[in-house]
Amino acid sequence: MQRGGGRRGMLRRGWGGKFKECGYRMTVPRKAIMDVLGDSDKHLSAEDIYLTVHRSYPNVGLTTVYRTLELLTDMGMIVKFDFGDGRARYELAEGPDKKHHHHLICRRCKRIIEYTEFIDEEMDFLNRAEKGLSEKYKFDIKGHVIHFYGICDKCRYK
Amino acid sequence: MQRGGGRRGMLRRGWGGKFKECGYRMTVPRKAIMDVLGDSDKHLSAEDIYLTVHRSYPNVGLTTVYRTLELLTDMGMIVKFDFGDGRARYELAEGPDKKHHHHLICRRCKRIIEYTEFIDEEMDFLNRAEKGLSEKYKFDIKGHVIHFYGICDKCRYK
DNA sequence: TAGTTATTGAAAACGGTTTTCATTATCAAT
DNA sequence: ATTGATAATGAAAACCGTTTTCAATAACTA
Ligand SMILES: [Mn+2]
Ligand SMILES: [Mn+2]
Ligand SMILES: [Zn+2]
Ligand SMILES: [Zn+2]
Q: List A residues 75-94 in contact with B (Cβ-Cβ < 8 A).
A: 82, 84
- Which ranges in chain B are annotated with CATH 1.10.10.10? 1-95
Q: Which candidate from B132, B139, B141 shows the least CB-CB separation from A153?
A: B139
Please check whether residue A144 touches B, CB under 8 A.
Answer: yes
Assign domain B99-158 to its CATH superfamily. Ferric-uptake regulator, C-terminal dimerisarion domain (3.30.1490.190)
Closest CA in chain B for residue A128: B118
B158 or A90: which leads in pLDDT: A90
pLDDT of residue B28: 97
Is A10's Cβ below 8 Å from some Cβ in B?
A: no
Separation of alpha carbons A74 and A92, rounded Å: 13
Which residues 122-151 in chain A have a CB closer than 7 A to strand C?
none
Q: Which helix (H) or strand (E) holds B10?
A: helix B5-21
Q: Where in chain A is CATH 3.30.1490.190?
A: 99-158
pLDDT in tens, A76-120: 999 999 999 999 999 999 988 899 999 999 988 889 999 987 777
Q: How far apart are CA A107 and CA A57, in angstroms?
A: 35
A122-136, B25-39, B46-60: segment of lowest average pLDDT: A122-136
Query: Which residues of chain B neighbour A124 with C-beta distances below 8 Å?
Result: 125
> Is residue B3 predicted with pLDDT exceeding 80?
no
Residue A8 has pLDDT above 60, yes or no: no
* A75 CA, C5 C1': Å apart: 55
How do residues A15-43 score in pLDDT, each as one tens digit? 778 888 899 999 999 999 999 999 999 99
Give CB contacts under 8 A, 24+ apart, made by A106-112: A106/A150, A106/A151, A106/A152, A106/A155, A106/B139, A107/A149, A107/A150, A107/A151, A107/B142, A108/A151, A108/A152, A108/A155, A109/A152, A109/A154, A109/A155, A110/A83, A110/A84, A110/A85, A111/A152, A111/A154, A111/A155, A112/A43, A112/A83
**For the CA of A91, the nearest ligand:** 1
Residue A41: per-residue pLDDT: 94
What pTM value is reported for the model? Answer: 0.89
Any atom of strand D under 7 A from CB of B68? no
- B88 CA: nearest nucleotide by C1': D17
pLDDT the model gives residue A6: 35
Is CATH 1.10.10.10 correct for B1-95?
yes
Instruction: Provide, as residue numbers in chain B, all residues whose Cβ is less than 8 Å from the Cβ of A145.
Output: 145-147, 149
CA nearest A147: which of B146, B117, B13, B88? B146
CA distance B141 to chain A (A): 4
Residue from the list B115, B132, B144 with its beta carbon closest to the beta carbon of A133: B115
